[in-house]
Every structure is written in C-alpha cells, then in structure tokens.
Amino acid sequence: MDRVSLLWRLRRRARRGALCMAFFCVSMALLYALCAENSVPVTDAIFGVRARTRAQPRAHSAIKVLRGGAKPMYIDPQKLPGVIPGDPNRPIPVLSSPNHTHEDLTSKWRSRDRDSTGFFTRLLPRPFTRALETLFGGRRRGELSGKGGDAEFFGPHGILGEVWDDEMSSSMLGNRLKKVVQNYQATNKYGVKISGPGGVPSRPKLSAQALLCQFKDKVELMTLTPDLQPFASLPWASQLPPKPLTSDLGPYKTCAVVSSAGSLRNSGLGKEIDSHDAVMRFNAAPTGSYEKDVGSKTTIRLINSQVMASDDHRFLSSSLYSSGILVAWDPAPFSADLSQWYNRTDYPIFTQYQRYRRLHPLQPFYILHPRFLWQVWQRIQDNMAEPIQKNPPSSGLLGTVLMMSLCEVVHIYEFLPSRRKTELCHYYQRFYDAACTLGAYHPLLYEKNLVKRMNQGPDRDIYVHGRVKLPGLSMINCTQASGGGPEH
C-alpha cells in the first residue's frame, strides 16, 4: 500500500469521525433543549426513568430502630409518600414511573411499550428511543394528568393556568395517582366521622374572608402542658413546657413558612426569607449549603413523630434539631381523648420526647394537641366539593396555621408551586414523586386549594416566587364576615 493511498484513507476516516462527532453534538444539544423545555432530567431521557426508580429505596423494607437501645420499630409503609394502601406485606410505591416489584403493573407498561414502538424507533439506537419515549411518551410527566404531562396543567394555556387552580380535584389526576387518593379516601385508620357541609359538589365556594374567619373561630392552636391528664400524673410531666406555645412565642410582625419543595432550588429566595422576624421549617430540611435559596434563619421547626422515631434522621444526635424552637406532632384517633392517644400513638413520640429533653433540657420543645390537627382537617373537608383523605393534614398546612396564630403577616414559600415546578420532592434530596406535590397520604391537593382561596397576594407572586401571603388570625376582622356567604 503506497503512502498516498494510506493518507487518503486516514483523511477519510478523520472526516467520518468529525461528521459523527458533529452529529452527536447536535443530537445532544437538541436533547438538552427538549429536556429543558419539557422539564425532564437529561439522565432520565438517556437512561430511562426506570433506571432512576430502581435505585430508589423500596417502601416495604423500611424498618427503623430507635436510637438508645429500644426494640425494633416497624415503619408503616402505608404512610410513606405515594404508597397505595393494601397488602401491608407488598405495598405499591407510586413513584414517577411504574414499579417493577409489582407484576401486573410491569406487564401493563410492557404492553404499552410494545404498542407504542414504531418502525423508526426500532432503527434508532436505544438511548435515542429512551429519549423519545421519555420526552413524548408521557411516561414520567403523565403522572400529573395521565395524558400529556404537567404541560397540560401549567402555563398560560394549561388547565391550571400559570398558577394553582383552586378547583383542583382528584378527577384531574393520572390513573395511578388517582387510585392512591381514592384508596386513602376509602381507608379510615383514625376513625374519622364526617360531619359538616363538606364533600358536596354543589356547595358554594366561600370568600377568602369567610375562610379566614373559619380558621380564626373554629381552630385553636393548643400544645400539651403538665396540667393536662394523663400527663399530670406522669413522672416526666415537668419536662413539658409550663405554658402553651401561644403564651411563650410571638407576636411576630412578619413570618416565613418555608416548605421543603424541590422547586426552592435555584430560587434565590434566601435573603428575602431571612428578612422575616420568624422563619418556620419542617422535619429534616437543612439550611447548610442551601442558604442562597432557602435562607439560614430557623426560628421554629415543626417535626412529625415519624422523623423523631426514625434512626435515619438521627433526631437525638443531629445538630439540625438542637437550635431554635421545636414543635412535634403525632395524629391521634379522630374522637380520642389524650389518655387514649397516649396509649395509641402512631410513633413513640413521648419516648423520644423524654430522651431528647434529657439531652437538651433548656431547648424549647412543644407537642401539638391532636385536636388542633383534626380541627384543621375539618376546615379542609368543609370547604371541598368531594371527600378528602381521612388522614391528618400535612406539616406544611399545620405550620401555616400555627404561624398565622403567632404573626401579623405570613408568607409561605413554594407550598403552591411556582414556575420552577418539579417532581423533585425535597430541595435537599434526589427523589422524584408527583405525590409530594399533589398528595397521597395527606390531603395536599385540597390543602393547596384552600390556601389558594385564602391568598391575599397577586397570582404573579405565586408564579414567579412561589409566595403566598396570608394575614395573621389576630389581624382578621370577622364582624362583617359572620354570614360567610359565597364568593361573587
């Protein structure tokens, strides 16, 4: 082979390589552009959503051990976000893609894949077919609508417009998430007795003022004190605060309620959040490394009993819980008194409370009276046109009402999703589930409807900043709203 022929072949291969590299770069640029337009992670488009889902923890293996030598405690998988109640030995995690541990769902999705596979997708390399399926098949984003993804919900021409629509109902959800909500509506673990005018489709919608007056008149923020039975007769009663929370805290002028939503990422709201007189955060939400988006100030941290009991959260040893004011809650049966609840808590809140108080005797630490939880739940149900889940409200709504009892003005961040909407559950974790926005165990969808109706700020604040403005209960004048008539 002469030198000219060899050189010609090398040049031809170089040109082919350059063309292939150019084609690859253009393809990746288009893929990134499509992903950005459709709010789909690039890794999902290339490797498929299922690859991410397989790497997520399985709900049915959640067994936690209490720190301090207590016996193993089983975490009820039916209470985990996005889990369909049913067989406790084989719960169905409802994530952003089908679950491979359940055969019928797997076969259903495989049949859909076979039906949707076209001639051109058979010719294309697998990464490109994954990208096409993820971006255009509605596989991940169809969780919200069951059809074409959240683009049909949000945006100027979507069902919800640019902001949350307060007429949102379970009928608008995709099939899988709709099944979750319906199953939770059917279960009644806490013996909830439906009363009041709620759940009727023809019920007129109350004005924002009338709704706020309902919270002022019918919801009382209560915390446990040593004089309440059965605690008064218990040796550790002195560890409880001598006065209720409302006597020790506030009043504050302006307050921030900071959700843990993934849409807080890249929000740049940290400075605004820290400018408030008091800031509430939830459960295990950190501020370190996220100060630019969520701020650094924490005045009150509301935690549920599951976080307190979970060894993963290191409640007794983590510095996350050793500053500020702690407020804990655990749901009691709907009609139970404190004695019945004390012997039937969802998680060992009182055992953990005593252990924590021995380690941190000077830190303010309150426990919400369970009656407060169900009073808030009743306000939700009374103002919805369909039955809601018979489970307690989310920490987000409980914290909002708590701060409304302590502050003159409350700003809530990313409880209603902004233009940064995402299926990322928490800004500090890599876990995706539409149930974190729309609700599964908690009646989140209906809570957001209620908050949207009470909002005193412009819709643009919700869309741009994810910010809702509510007045403090002490600032509401209910003399003119006693009739509670419908909106006009």
Which pair of structure tokens corresponds to residue 80?
């985990």
pLDDT of res. 148: 36
Q: Which residues contact 122 (CB under 8 A, 6 or more apart)?
A: none
pLDDT of res. 108: 38
Please report, for the chain, the start and end positions of each structural domain, with discontinuous segments joined by +: 198-475
Q: Which CATH superfamily hosts domain 198-475? A: Glycosyl transferase family 29 (3.90.1480.20)
DSSP annotation of 223: B
pLDDT of res. 141: 34
Q: Give the whole-angstrom CA distance, residue 345 versus residue 373.
A: 14
DSSP annotation of 313: G
pLDDT tens for the chain, residues 1 to 488: 566 677 778 888 888 888 888 888 887 777 766 654 444 455 444 544 444 333 333 333 333 333 344 444 434 434 444 333 333 333 333 322 222 223 333 333 334 444 444 444 455 555 555 555 444 443 333 333 333 344 444 445 554 457 898 888 888 888 888 888 888 878 888 999 887 676 677 678 899 999 999 999 999 999 999 999 999 999 999 999 999 999 999 899 999 999 999 999 999 999 999 999 999 999 999 999 999 999 999 999 999 999 999 999 999 999 999 889 999 999 999 988 999 999 999 999 999 999 999 999 999 999 999 999 999 999 999 999 999 999 999 999 999 999 999 999 999 999 999 999 888 999 999 888 888 888 889 999 999 999 999 999 999 999 999 999 999 999 999 986 444 444 43
pLDDT of res. 258: 98
Q: Are 94 and 83 in contact (CB under 8 A)?
A: yes
pLDDT of res. 126: 53
Q: Are 218 and 376 in contact (CB under 8 A)?
A: no
pLDDT of res. 127: 52
Q: Are 419 and 464 in contact (CB under 8 A)?
A: yes
pLDDT of res. 122: 52
Q: Which residues contact 174 (CB under 8 A, 6 or more apart)?
A: 142, 143, 144, 145, 146, 147, 434
pLDDT of res. 17: 86
Q: Which residues contact 366 (CB under 8 A, 6 or more apart)?
A: 223, 224, 241, 244, 245, 325, 326, 327, 328
Query: DSSP per residue over 143-202, as a string?
Result: HHHSSS-GGGTSSTTSTTTTS--TT--GGGS-HHHHHHHHHHHH--TT-----SSTT-TT
The DSSP bridge partners found for residue 223 are 368
